[in-house]
Structure 1
Amino acid sequence: MIFEEKPIEVEILLNPAFCGEVFRRCISEYQKYTNSAFPVSIIYLVLALVLHKFTRESILKNRRKQMHVWLQENQEVLINLPNRIKSLVSISNETLIFLLHTNSICINEEGNINLNKYRKKTKGFKNSEISDCFSAAEIIGRWFARVGDETTIYAMLGVKP
């Protein structure tokens, strides 16, 4: 079985289309700043940072800061982060499969993620929490791009790959 059985609430709220848009926005910003593919190993960090309300709100309040400065000033966001990442691995995997199946992304020879062209929709979202998730994902994409090295990103977050 590819997909793990989850409570219906989790399936509805964390569906692959929504999580895929979170990933897509993060990857897009990363690629905009680096002109390179997104390291697949750090995709697993994205949902744990974006979906956790306290962390997301902290990211949005500190969008102009560098990632290391934000982490130094907000060390409480690291509490339980490894467990959040671990609990979201299956959802991240399902989302990656969905994005590959819909031809939204491709994996290059080095095993990194490239976005395929897509038709951009201009409509905004009435739900501010959804908009906040997408904005936080974009900020994370820029932060990851500025840090550059995936090993450093993991070290900054206090997580082992």
Structure 2
Amino acid sequence: MNISTELPQTKTSEVSVLLNPAFCAEILCRFIEGYDKNNGVDFLILFFVLPIVTHPKTEEIMSLHPKTKLLEMLKEYPEIKFNIKERIENFMPITRSALIFAIAHKAIEFDEAGKCKLIPKYRKRGGQVNGYKTKEYFDLSSRFGKKCSIYDSATMFYLLGISP
């Protein structure tokens, strides 16, 4: 795993939080909630979330421009897409672990069409993990979900410059 392309270059405790399946599952749940908690999100889109939300430059850009639409943001800041395919590939095991954790803890489920939905009894988790503030990542993930909500997975692949 190449940490430089996927996680912020920070102290070890922050990296351990960012790799925590429970923390990553909550990021995914917040994304689903922002995207469409009732109708769900295409399974493949979930693999874009962690590499984008936890990427330092993308996090900075999205935090500075919370109301900017995704397409406009990608045009103005093409660096968001920098190494995105590699970042997605590097995050695949982490995303899978987070999905397994969320399913096991009855936070998400998949319907017959392959859409991932929050289970109605899902409760937001928050606060701090090992003294590290997580709210910023959760809020960013929810906003990113809203930005992506008008796109299906094929369009997301196209916008990010990835060939499926």
The two structures share one fold, judged by TM-score above 0.5: yes
Answering whether residue 154 of structure 2 is matched by residue 134 of structure 1, we say no
Q: TM (normalized to structure 1)?
A: 0.84
Report the AA paired with residue 140 of structure 2.
A
Q: CA RMSD in A?
A: 2.0
Contact 1:60/1:135 (8 A) holds in 2: no
Q: 1:109 aligns with which of 105, 109, 112?
A: 112
Query: Partner of 1:114: helix, strand, or coil?
Result: strand
Structure that is richer in strand per residue: 2
Partner of 1:14: 19
> In structure 1, what is the equivalent of residue 154 of structure 2?
151
**Secondary structure of the structure 2 residue equivalent to 1:106:** strand
1-structure distance, mates of 2:107, 2:49: 17
Q: Distance in 2 between matches of 1:48 and 1:141?
A: 14
> Sequence identity of aligned pairs in percent?
32
Letter in 2 for 1:28: E
Deviations 1:43-79 (A, max 9, x none): 0000010111111111111111110000000001211
Partner of 1:89: 92
Structure 1 gaps, min length 5 = 1-7
5 Å-filtered alignment, 1:113-124, equals 113-116=116-119, 117-120=121-124, 124=127
Aligned-partner residue type, residue 46 of structure 1: V
How many residue pairs are counted as aligned between the two chains? 149
* AA matched with 1:23: L
Match of 2:36 in 1: 31
Instruction: Report the TM-score, using the length of structure 2 for normalisation.
Output: 0.82
> Take 1:83 and 1:120, find their aligned partners in 2: how far apart are those partners?
30
Detail structure 1 runs of 4+ shifted over 4 Å in the superposition.
8-12, 123-128
Structure 2 gaps of 5+ residues are 1-11
CA 1:60–1:36 in structure 2 vs 1: closer, same or farther (change >3 Å)? same
Q: Summarize the Cα distance change of 1:120–1:89 in structure 2 as closer, same or farther, 3 Å threshold.
A: closer
Map Cα deviations across residues 23-60 of structure 1 (whole Å, 9 max, x no partner).
Answer: 0000001115xx41111011000001011111111111
CA distance in 2, matches of 1:149, 1:119: 26
- How far residue 16 of structure 1 moved from its aligned partner, in angstroms, is 0.7
How far, CA to CA, are the matches of 1:37 and 1:119 in structure 2? 16
Retained in 2: the 8 A contact 1:56–1:132?
Answer: no
> How far does residue 120 in structure 1 lie from its aligned partner after superposition?
4.0
